[in-house]
Structure 1
């Protein structure tokens, strides 16, 4: 059966499993596999789990529940929801759309990198397992000899990295093909919204767990794997007194739930209005936390094997565990090197990059949903355009803009986007969401909505976190994060074969003009929240002849929601 349609021709999930898998796929992404293990190792191993789990309970779950609830109650995307709650909060939805767009640009580039490695995995030996012969065939390529085969394949043969961010290095044709393929696959999967993504998640959201389990079983049979796991979980309780540990834990909880992107609001809007969104939030939170810890265990079982292969003793190789394990360095350098030392290495490489592809693609479903639905709500496209055309135009524009990441300096641009597009704006959006529901819409009205949807009033835990605890945590994270960014020097890590310290990666300060880009990435989405409210206030002041227009808009929308609820009630009775 295709996706059902109810209440104002709004699509509906075929079944509950489809919805849950889609949300899990969106929340559980590449960050669970490569950022969480790095943070655990950086902040006292098992000690990092303590602030992570505490903040997961008091920051992540409440905001996840809130997004599920408002989307399900109002049955709209992020822009429609906030315009309904209060027209002055339209900027919250616009900010979410901007962040989803910016993140989609570089996130799908990572999928393109994954595809490149996947295509190159069908070789024996793997191309990153040994240095290539130089052009004169008199020896090995000097750059590779001075570094390592995995570093050379990543920085030169994959990225063809330039020495600085202001040296474009030209477009790399092989990565252009991979980028086009990545956007093409995404378009096919989201061509008709949840009607097509809902089918794809049966594979993309479940296969990573199968592959992780296979890697764990294999990893535990390798020498040094247990040492790697011990290294990960050995706690350094002194780290609990370090403010940066709590800051990173709060940020990781925030990012790993994919909060404030707008995708979760859209996904929940396709549910029955009487779905138990409270239960869904708790279940998905548990799955997310379990996945982070499980993935870290798998990753460090393999890294322990890698360290043992290099040093005979994992303890003497601590610096190997400490270097290059963050972000792309973990996936494309550390893990790929470990795979080359395993028997049947092409097989393990294929499995690993299939897993990363599924993780990335399922997250992109939510990111692109956070762009497409608001664009439709804002009537950017003519109403006569079918979903296929809207999805195609959006993917095409994103693909063209994404070409900036497949030039020689693309890796530096991707790191810049990752650092600023998905940091401060998300904190501003999430804080605005909490304040908007609790203090603008009104917690009492929201409680009545919850009673209508799930049959009971949210308990004292939800009341306390929504009203006080979660907003204070987000405000504290924002203040500490912003003060850290403002006070410290901003630099990027460059691969420069001409450097005296090569092959050590070189820290370089950003050129002055980059700060304009940083403002565009972080400032515009953040400022669109108050900016839209100010613009609306000015417009209303200039149009005093129609003072009742905003009220009529709210009443009209509320009436539509009421009508939809009544339709859903009658449909539910009919189904019974």
Structure 2
């Protein structure tokens, strides 16, 4: 049997190249970029993004959208790509290297990917159901698209709604929503097995296989999207929809917080930050690759693709003569499964365009699915090394994912998917990225900070930073946004001013302006040192030669702008739960999402509890010795030079005392 498996493996792929450290390596930079951007670019770019724009129609949409790209997406991806490449590991190993108390953050990212990849594959099943019926003439949804979608694609049994006392969600729950039919849908199970087989083909043998697959799963859909773009924009009255998209301005909408929240959510979810696959994939780059440039390319490629692809959708919108005035708000799936199919029916050569459209969606979906599963496989391979061959790990992961996905292949699977997706996206994913940005700039090399200013000052400053965000959003929801802002800033200053007063005066230098006095040096070490030192240490590796450097404003941005914005977005999910607490699927998704919060908090308190997820030889890599202002990579290089020359090695503590005090 093993001989047959090796023969199949040899026929389907070639082994990945090896890096200097023995880790698998991408066959080319293009393969890395295509596979990585494929994780972000999926059917959501063609169907979710246009629905968000339609609901907030007008050119003013792009103001919050572009702001979110530069304040959230690019800074987050610079962090993920840089630590993956520099620390040579998946999410858990990379964040362990950042700080051993961030292991839970890496595990939370893996958890998000493992949950999303299972139900994401079911959306591909619905696409394949449409694809199968696209060969029937006339198209079977010609007379009633809603009936076909509900009864032939989803095949969901109607639930019995739950109730509240007095019919008001503010009252108590009198009965929970029930789902009378829990049976399996045979066709859904079959297409699910086919989908997971396609995923397995794309990633079972490592990045060499994934790199080759990306040329098909991303390259072909790009060409197909361009063709669809031309066809849809040439439809009768297509210009009517395109004008709504790109030639109208409604400045009054900018005063509504909804458009800002929606734009931030769209950018955040479509770029793929927080899933861990950028970290995993970057770890297979050469150690000295241009990580910052790659991160910018990935974000810009994703956002450019969805912005251009939306022209096709709005060509269809104009053709069907729909607009926000005569159409209810569009849901995430409606454009792909209702609007597009309705337009295709009226096109000449409808069957051809139906096959073409759903094949494009399927390929884009596959390109997003296997990177998420690779997050789990990379984490397992980091832990086990070469003891278990990668194809065995990948095959096991695919089989397990398929078995778990069977719960979404039932007559209530759509409702379960919606219940899990809502909270994993709105709660878990946002919290993971908030944790990445805020913790990496708080606890990275924290020994240097409290060694310079003292533990009480360090504790007070960070208590103000975190409690200010918590108190601000709480008061903002209960009272008013203005009151929340006042409470948040008030709490921050209430803690930070005493921290500045009781902190010891650092004896190490601070850069530029901050070195003018003891007070400004305290401000630098409390407010900016961890993030700035992370930037400096990463730049030793990712910013070498002609590579782009992580800019100096990056660390303050992710700590004091990006993180608070994400925490505000995170807080919006909780009030919604109160109105859905009588539905078991939403309760299940809500509880599931909080596993991420538990992992992050528990790891901060007891990092040794997470040793089982970290490679044994890397357990202590996240414990940094006291060496203020000493750049980590340079320090390691100097130690290597000493060892080669035969000199007696100086400890990191001594090196820090000699060179870091007045670096």
Kept in 1, the 8 Å contact 2:203–2:209? The answer is yes
Q: What pairs up with 1:44-193 in 2 under 5 angstroms?
A: 44-130=57-143, 149-164=144-159, 166-193=179-206
Asked if residue 271 in structure 1 is aligned to residue 285 in structure 2, the reply is yes
Match of 1:520 in 2: 591
Bigger-Rg structure (1/2): 2
* Matches of 1:15 and 1:551, distance apart in 2: 32
Quick check: 1:161–1:169 contact (8 Å CA) kept in 2? no
Shift of 1:537: 6.7
> In the alignment, does 2:356 pair up with 1:351?
yes
Note if 1:338 corresponds to 2:343.
yes
- Give the drift of 1:327: 1.9
Evaluate the alpha carbon distance shift between residue 550 and residue 171 of structure 1 in structure 2; reply closer, same or farther with a 3 A threshold: closer
Residues 1:448 and 2:541 are matched in the alignment: no
Match of 1:229 in 2: 242
CA distance 1:524–1:65, shift in 2 (3 Å): same
The alpha carbon displacement at 1:369 in A equals: 1.3
Q: Deviations over 1:288-307 (max 9, x none)?
A: 12112112111110122123
| Contact 1:431 1:471 (C-alpha < 8 Å) held by counterparts | yes
Q: Note if contact 1:447-1:457 (Cα within 8 Å) is conserved in structure 2.
A: no
- The corresponding residue for 2:334 is 329
- Partners of 2:403 and 2:636 lie apart in 1 by 42
Specify the alignment match of 2:55 in structure 1. Answer: 42
Alpha-carbon distance between aligned partners in 2 of 1:418 and 1:553, rounded to the nearest angstrom: 33
Q: 2:442 aligns with which of 435, 439, 443?
A: 439
**Matched residue, 1:410:** 413
Among 293, 299, 306, the residue aligned to 1:285: 299
The one of the two structures with greater contact order (alpha-carbon pairs below 8 A, sep at least 6) is 1
Which residue number in structure 2 is paired with residue 425 of structure 1? 428
- What SS does structure 2 have at the residue aligned with 1:55? helix
Q: Is the CA contact (8 Å cut-off) linking 2:97 and 2:621 kept in structure 1?
A: no
Residue number in structure 2 paired with 1:20? 33
* Contact 1:33 1:295 (C-alpha < 8 Å) held by counterparts: yes
Q: CA RMSD in A?
A: 2.7
Correspondence 1:530 to 2:622? no
Alpha-carbon distance between aligned partners in 1 of 2:300 and 2:585, rounded to the nearest angstrom: 39
Where 1:421 maps in the other structure, the secondary structure is helix
Partner residue, 1:393: 396
CA 1:127–1:451: 2 relative to 1, 3 Å: same
Compute the displacement of 1:328 (Å): 1.9
Go from structure 1 to structure 2 and tell me whether the alpha carbon gap of 1:539 and 1:219 turns closer, same or farther (over 3 Å shift): closer
Q: CA offset at residue 341 of structure 1?
A: 0.7
Q: Contact 1:82–1:90 (CA<8 Å) still a contact in 2?
A: yes
1:459 positional shift: 2.6
5+ residue gaps in structure 2?
Answer: 1-13, 160-177, 445-529, 612-617, 626-631, 641-663
Per-residue deviation at 1:446? Answer: 3.0
Q: Does the 8 Å contact 1:2/1:14 carry over to 2? A: no
Judged with a 3 Å threshold, the aligned counterparts in structure 2 of structure 1 residues 515 and 124 are, in CA distance, closer, same or farther, namely: closer
Q: Which TM-score applies when normalising by structure 2?
A: 0.72
1:150 and 1:336 in contact (8 A); partners too: yes
TM-score (normalised: structure 1): 0.82
How many angstroms apart in 2 are the aligned matches of 1:469 and 1:525?
22
1:102-146 Cα deviation digits (max 9, x unpaired): 10111011111111211221121112113xxxxxxxxxxxxxxxx
Matched, 1:489 2:579: yes
The 1-side partners of 2:339 and 2:192 are apart by 23
Which secondary structure state, in structure 2, belongs to the residue aligned with residue 439 of structure 1?
A: coil
Aligned-residue offset at 1:444:
1.3
**Does 1:466 pair with 2:558?**
yes
How far the C-alpha of 1:562 sits from its partner, in A, is 6.2
Q: 1:477 to 1:447 in 2, by over 3 A?
A: same
In 2, are the aligned partners of 1:73 and 1:269 still within 8 Å (CA)?
yes
